[in-house]
Amino acid sequence: MTRKQFTDSEFIAGMKNNNGLILSGLYKKFYGIVLKHVLHNSGTEEEAQDVYQESIIVLYQNVQKPEFTLNCALQTYIYSIARRLWLKQLNKNSNVYKIDSSNEELEFADVSEEVNEHEEKEVQLG
Protein backbone atom coordinates (compact mmCIF):
# COMPACT_ATOMS: atom_id res chain seq x y z
CA MET A 1 0.00 0.00 0.00
CA THR A 2 1.49 3.35 -1.03
CA ARG A 3 1.07 6.46 1.03
CA LYS A 4 -0.39 9.57 -0.49
CA GLN A 5 1.98 12.52 -0.49
CA PHE A 6 0.08 15.72 0.19
CA THR A 7 1.13 19.18 -0.91
CA ASP A 8 1.25 22.09 1.52
CA SER A 9 -1.95 23.44 -0.06
CA GLU A 10 -3.70 20.10 0.42
CA PHE A 11 -2.63 20.01 4.06
CA ILE A 12 -4.00 23.51 4.63
CA ALA A 13 -7.28 22.79 2.81
CA GLY A 14 -7.67 19.52 4.70
CA MET A 15 -7.15 21.26 8.03
CA LYS A 16 -9.78 23.84 7.13
CA ASN A 17 -12.21 20.99 6.41
CA ASN A 18 -11.18 18.85 9.41
CA ASN A 19 -10.08 16.01 7.14
CA GLY A 20 -8.85 13.16 9.37
CA LEU A 21 -6.64 11.64 6.67
CA ILE A 22 -4.89 14.97 6.17
CA LEU A 23 -4.42 15.49 9.90
CA SER A 24 -2.98 11.99 10.27
CA GLY A 25 -0.62 12.59 7.36
CA LEU A 26 0.43 15.92 8.83
CA TYR A 27 1.31 14.32 12.15
CA LYS A 28 3.46 11.69 10.45
CA LYS A 29 5.18 13.91 7.91
CA PHE A 30 6.66 16.68 10.04
CA TYR A 31 7.10 15.09 13.47
CA GLY A 32 10.70 14.05 12.77
CA ILE A 33 12.04 17.59 12.40
CA VAL A 34 10.46 18.63 15.69
CA LEU A 35 11.69 15.49 17.45
CA LYS A 36 15.27 16.08 16.29
CA HIS A 37 15.17 19.74 17.26
CA VAL A 38 13.92 19.02 20.78
CA LEU A 39 16.30 16.09 21.32
CA HIS A 40 19.27 18.17 20.16
CA ASN A 41 18.26 20.95 22.54
CA SER A 42 18.09 19.17 25.90
CA GLY A 43 14.66 17.61 25.47
CA THR A 44 13.11 14.18 25.57
CA GLU A 45 10.93 12.28 23.12
CA GLU A 46 7.89 12.90 25.34
CA GLU A 47 8.60 16.63 25.36
CA ALA A 48 8.97 16.58 21.57
CA GLN A 49 5.56 14.89 21.29
CA ASP A 50 4.02 17.60 23.49
CA VAL A 51 5.69 20.40 21.53
CA TYR A 52 4.58 18.87 18.23
CA GLN A 53 1.00 18.48 19.47
CA GLU A 54 0.97 22.12 20.57
CA SER A 55 2.50 23.19 17.25
CA ILE A 56 -0.23 21.42 15.28
CA ILE A 57 -2.87 23.05 17.49
CA VAL A 58 -1.36 26.50 16.83
CA LEU A 59 -1.23 25.72 13.10
CA TYR A 60 -4.84 24.47 13.14
CA GLN A 61 -6.04 27.61 14.96
CA ASN A 62 -4.19 29.85 12.53
CA VAL A 63 -5.48 27.97 9.48
CA GLN A 64 -9.06 28.50 10.68
CA LYS A 65 -8.62 32.29 10.53
CA PRO A 66 -10.04 33.71 7.29
CA GLU A 67 -7.01 35.94 6.78
CA PHE A 68 -4.50 33.07 7.09
CA THR A 69 -2.03 32.77 4.23
CA LEU A 70 0.91 30.40 4.19
CA ASN A 71 3.90 32.50 3.10
CA CYS A 72 6.57 29.82 3.42
CA ALA A 73 6.89 26.06 3.24
CA LEU A 74 4.58 24.30 5.68
CA GLN A 75 7.58 22.48 7.13
CA THR A 76 9.25 25.83 7.86
CA TYR A 77 6.07 27.16 9.45
CA ILE A 78 5.66 24.13 11.72
CA TYR A 79 9.35 24.14 12.62
CA SER A 80 9.14 27.83 13.53
CA ILE A 81 6.16 27.25 15.79
CA ALA A 82 7.80 24.24 17.44
CA ARG A 83 11.09 26.06 17.90
CA ARG A 84 9.36 29.01 19.54
CA LEU A 85 7.30 26.72 21.81
CA TRP A 86 10.38 24.75 22.82
CA LEU A 87 12.28 27.93 23.66
CA LYS A 88 9.36 29.03 25.82
CA GLN A 89 9.40 25.65 27.56
CA LEU A 90 13.13 25.91 28.20
CA ASN A 91 12.66 29.43 29.50
CA LYS A 92 9.98 28.19 31.89
CA ASN A 93 12.30 25.43 33.15
CA SER A 94 15.41 27.55 33.63
CA ASN A 95 16.75 31.06 33.63
CA VAL A 96 19.28 30.31 30.90
CA TYR A 97 17.01 31.21 28.00
CA LYS A 98 15.20 34.52 27.76
CA ILE A 99 12.40 35.19 25.29
CA ASP A 100 10.69 38.51 24.71
CA SER A 101 7.07 37.61 25.35
CA SER A 102 5.76 41.18 25.16
CA ASN A 103 4.37 40.48 21.70
CA GLU A 104 1.39 38.11 21.95
CA GLU A 105 1.50 36.96 18.32
CA LEU A 106 4.05 34.41 17.22
CA GLU A 107 6.67 35.74 14.87
CA PHE A 108 7.91 33.25 12.32
CA ALA A 109 11.53 33.41 11.35
CA ASP A 110 12.66 31.99 8.05
CA VAL A 111 14.37 28.79 9.15
CA SER A 112 14.28 27.08 5.78
CA GLU A 113 18.09 27.16 5.50
CA GLU A 114 18.40 25.63 8.96
CA VAL A 115 15.89 22.90 8.04
CA ASN A 116 17.66 22.23 4.73
CA GLU A 117 21.04 21.96 6.46
CA HIS A 118 19.53 19.56 8.97
CA GLU A 119 18.04 17.43 6.19
CA GLU A 120 21.36 17.40 4.28
CA LYS A 121 23.19 16.19 7.39
CA GLU A 122 20.53 13.54 7.89
CA VAL A 123 20.98 12.30 4.30
CA GLN A 124 24.77 12.21 4.74
CA LEU A 125 24.43 10.22 7.96
CA GLY A 126 21.66 7.98 6.60
- Three-state SS string over the chain comes to CCCCCCCHHHHHHHHHCCCHHHHHHHHHHHHHHHHHHHHCCCCCHHHHHHHHHHHHHHHHHHHCCCCCCCCCCHHHHHHHHHHHHHHHHHHHHCCCCCCCCCCCCCCCCCCHHHHHHHHHHHHHHC
Give the confidence band of 125 by pLDDT, cuts at 50, 70, 90.
low
pLDDT at 98 over 60: no
Q: Which of 67, 65, 104 is nearest to 84 (CA)?
A: 104
- Is residue 26 within 8 A of residue 34, CB to CB? The reply is no
13-51 per-position pLDDT tens digit: 999 998 988 888 888 899 999 999 999 998 999 999 999
